[in-house]
Homo-oligomer: A and B are copies of this chain.
Amino acid sequence: MSIEQANNTAVNRMMEARPILKGVALARDVIPGMKDNLILHAGPPIEWERMSGPLRGATIGAMLFEGLAKNETEAISMVESGEIEFDACHHHDTVGPMAGVTSASMKVYVVENVEHGNKAYSNLNEGYGKVLRYGAYSKEVIKKLHWMNDVLGTALAEALARSDGIDIRALIAEALHMGDEGHNRNKAGSLLYLKSISPLIARVVKDNSVLSEVLAFIGDNALSVLNPVMAACKVMTDAAHGIEKSTIVTTMARNGTDFGIRVSGLGDKEWFTAPAEIPVGLFFSGFTQEDANLDIGDSTITETAGIGGFAMASAPAIVTFVGGSPQDALNATLEMYEITFGENKYFTMPSLDFRGTPTGIDIRKVVELGITPRINTGIAHKDAGVGQVGAGLVRPPLAIFEQAIIAYAEKYNL
């Protein structure tokens, strides 16, 4: 099989994957290898000593949420004594935005690719501002997580159990016609999610006041659907992984310190990493570029699957959030055609005459042209405990694609 054929197989599997949101369940019950003392995190694997502020903050928060520690000091000392294990979400069929911290008692979305049979998991979205995934861990943050787990999560689980599931590929396709790009702008997608889930939730929540709160929480959070979308992109890109000879990127992820990628033809746990960049963007009142942490999160799984920064031509209004002009957003998409294998069959952009989004990053093209993927992202404060400070644009370091090309040449004796 030629490289071209291998890439064709990989990208077709990515596009033909049909991610259906099937349910919500406890992480410990569904995530492979989940344990009570295991903290999953975004990006490539990393040890505590090298973790950035927001990832440390989210870890402390998860330990408080789990009841593993009573306070920050106790949490840190437990970690330092080796009682807590860490691993990358991606090693457990899981993805999480920003810090991506997922612990055993958290409820997670279950997305199944009904075409190829693989599954992926992602936690529930907390909304904006002071939230665990940006490294905040105050009492209010933990209290909200408990409400999300006990009330929202239970409602979602019971609602989805009564349905055949929600077709997330169809939802993304529709949202791209409604000004979303699927990563930082999931406003339309989240409302499409509300539309699908609200009649189901209405049947299972008997208390009117609780029901009202749950619907308001889902509807008011323009990122409600981000996590199911990420899990959908994860099953799509996982379906493209492991194709012998393929040079297509199947993972892009950041842990707040390193940016890592994996490549379809280069094995399961082989990460190529280099220091992550600092996103440049627009900051919330009171914060500046100085406060920004290095790039963090598994949410680049969206760009890996051909949406997010790659579909910004569909989302000109996103510039009010990440900076730049609508023309820049259009140019971002156009540039990505240079480094991708094909155009998406299912994700089309009306503003480009319904052209498919650029899909399937080819490490050969990235290195040959020196064009790295465009990513739009939330920006975390660099210190633990603060939270989100803005949103902006970033790219991965070129070095990781060069490393991948070298590893590829070695593996395949080129």
Chain A residues with CB under 8 Å of chain B are: 177-180, 187-188, 191-192, 194-196, 198-200, 202-206, 208-209, 211-213, 215-216, 219-220, 316-317, 319, 325-327, 350-351, 353-354
Alpha-carbon distance between A219 and B195 when the two chains are bound, in angstroms: 5
> 16 pairs across A/B with beta carbons < 8 Å?
A178-B178, A178-B179, A178-B180, A178-B317, A191-B192, A191-B195, A194-B198, A195-B219, A195-B220, A198-B219, A199-B212, A199-B215, A203-B209, A211-B211, A316-B351, A351-B351
* Chain B nearest Cβ from A328, distance in angstroms: 11
Chain B residues with CB under 8 A of A191: 188, 191-192, 194-195
Q: A191-B191, A219-B199 are in contact. Are A177 and B350 (CB under 8 A)?
A: no
Chain B residues with CB under 8 A of A212: 199-200, 202-203
Alpha-carbon distance between A196 and B211 when the two chains are bound, in angstroms: 14
Output the nearest chain B residue to A313 by Cβ-Cβ distance: B351
Name the contact of A326 in the complex, choosing from B187, B199, B209, B353 (C-beta under 8 A).
B353
Contact A319 B178 (CB under 8 A): no
Chain B residues with CB under 8 A of A203: 208-209, 212
Chain B residues with CB under 8 A of A178: 178-180, 187-188, 317
Contact A215 B198 (CB under 8 A): yes
Alpha-carbon distance between A345 and B196 when the two chains are bound, in angstroms: 34
Chain B residues with CB under 8 A of A202: 202, 208, 211-212, 215
In terms of DSSP, what is the predominant structure of the interface of chain A? helix
Most buried by B among A205, A316, A319, A325: A316
Contact A350 B198 (CB under 8 A): no
Chain B residues with CB under 8 A of A325: 353
Output the nearest chain B residue to A192 by Cβ-Cβ distance: B191
* Chain B nearest Cβ from A63, distance in angstroms: 33
Instruction: Using A199-B216, A316-B351, A326-B353 as known contacts, list a sample of 10 further A-B pairs with CB atoms less than 8 Å apart, ordered by residue number in A.
Output: A188-B188, A191-B191, A194-B219, A199-B212, A199-B213, A202-B211, A203-B208, A211-B211, A326-B354, A327-B353
* Chain B nearest Cβ from A122, distance in angstroms: 22
* Chain B nearest Cβ from A218, distance in angstroms: 9
Alpha-carbon distance between A413 and B220 when the two chains are bound, in angstroms: 56
Alpha-carbon distance between A213 and B205 when the two chains are bound, in angstroms: 14
Output the nearest chain B residue to A348 by Cβ-Cβ distance: B317
* Chain B nearest Cβ from A159, distance in angstroms: 10
* Chain B nearest Cβ from A152, distance in angstroms: 13
Contact B198 A188 (CB under 8 A): no
Chain B residues with CB under 8 A of A316: 350-351
* Chain B nearest Cβ from A188, distance in angstroms: 5
Chain B residues with CB under 8 A of A319: 350
* Chain B nearest Cβ from A309, distance in angstroms: 17
The 9 closest A-B pairs by CB, nearest first: A316-B350, A191-B191, A195-B219, A199-B216, A202-B212, A177-B317, A317-B350, A178-B179, A202-B211
Chain B residues with CB under 8 A of A353: 325-327
